[in-house]
Amino acid sequence: MESMVVFYPCLDIEKTSRFYEETIGLTCCQDQGSCRIFDTGYGYLGFCEYDDHVLATRTCISFNLKSVEAVNKKYIEMKAKQIAGLTQPQKHPKFAVYSFFMKDPNGYTLEFQKIL
């Protein structure tokens, strides 16, 4: 793994971005419109905008991998372990990401991704 991004949902990406850039002082290192990633100096903090308040309460812990091939390799490893909630690796329909998802023992969503 290269680094880690923890994603939090939000209802207004512009308001959220202004707060984290202007008030907290973080730098936006990736802007995908309704999803933005901020560099904390020690890791990354991401926010994705959702219109639906129920969707906005979901969280996702994302692990950044070095390549699409590394994502596929990690998927094969997790599939062999019969991990719950495992999805097929694929390019995200909304964001420039290739990833798969699974659940941890607490029900949290984990994503293993390569940001394209």
Quote the percentage of the chain above a pLDDT of 70: 93
Q: What is the DSSP letter of 19?
A: I
Domain boundaries, the chain: 1-58, 65-116
pTM of the model: 0.68
What is the architecture of the domain spanning 65-116?
A: 2-Layer Sandwich (3.30)
Evaluate whether the domain defined by 1-58 bears CATH number 3.20.20.70: no
Q: Report the chain's mean pLDDT, rounded to a whole number.
A: 88
Segment among 5-14, 44-53, 65-74 with least mean pLDDT: 44-53
Asked if residue 88 lies in contact with residue 74, where contact means CB atoms within 8 angstroms, the answer is no
Look at residue 55 and tell me whether its pLDDT is greater than 70. Answer: no
CA–CA separation, 82 vs 42, rounded Å?
Answer: 32
SS3 48: strand
Asked if residue 6 lies in contact with residue 20, where contact means CB atoms within 8 angstroms, the answer is no
Asked if residue 59 lies in contact with residue 109, where contact means CB atoms within 8 angstroms, the answer is yes
pLDDT tens digits, 1-25: 788 898 888 888 999 999 889 988 8
**Six-digit token string for 99:** 């990833």
| pLDDT score of 71 | 97
CA–CA separation, 59 vs 69, rounded Å?
Answer: 25
Q: How confident is the model at residue 105 (pLDDT cuts 50, 70, 90)?
A: low
Count the neighbouring beta carbons within 10 Å of the beta carbon of residue 111. 19
| pLDDT score of 99 | 96
Average pLDDT over residues 78-97: 91
